[in-house]
Structure 1
Amino acid sequence: MTEGDALGLVQQAIWLTMLLAGPVIGSAMVIGVGIAFFQALTQVQEMTLTFVPKIIAGFIIIMLTGGYSGSLLKAFTEQIFLRIAIGFK
């Protein structure tokens, strides 16, 4: 295994992490900005108001993208195991 192989694996792992976490984090950001805007308009400063919608949205996004995320993670894992089995050439 060369430095280039290791760097390529780390790069793929970081990219996969961004792909898997991106939809959940993006939805939480959109929900958070919307709730912050609502709180600014109504002057309701309840701290717990932001958490529940973010958690619900996160679970919904995970349920919607779970199959796709699982297939990406499975393909990456199979690629790593295959490269371990045949060697890094």
Structure 2
Amino acid sequence: MLNEIIFFDTLRQGLWVAVLVSIPILTVALVAGVSIGLVQALTSIQEMTLTFVPKLAAIVVVFWMSMGFMTQTMVSFFHGRIIPLIIGG
């Protein structure tokens, strides 16, 4: 039977894995957004696609580069925590 301590500990670990997996993409989106916003403010260019396209390209590149890390982190969480709970370990 799944008691409250195991449930909340698994939830805490799952949230931590979600934070670890999302850090690379969110960091690149923040840096790209701030730098593009700074360029727009300095040049007075207010084009919406100028912010969207480079940020999307940066996110796709970082996602492609960190896909192995994300997969390994989630698989290790599932093998170490979720699957033993499912089989009753």
Does residue 1:85 correspond to 2:87, yes or no? yes
Please show how residues 2-81 of structure 1 align to structure 2 within 5 Å: 2-79=3-80, 80-81=82-83
Q: TM-score, normalised by structure 2?
A: 0.91
Counterpart secondary structure, 1:50: helix
How far is 1:56 from its partner?
0.7
Distance 1:82 1:7 in 2: 15
Q: TM-score, normalised by structure 1?
A: 0.91
The alignment-based identity, stated in percent, is: 34
How far is 1:77 from its partner?
1.2
Question: Which 4+ runs in 1 deviate beyond 3 A?
Answer: none
Count residues with an aligned counterpart: 87
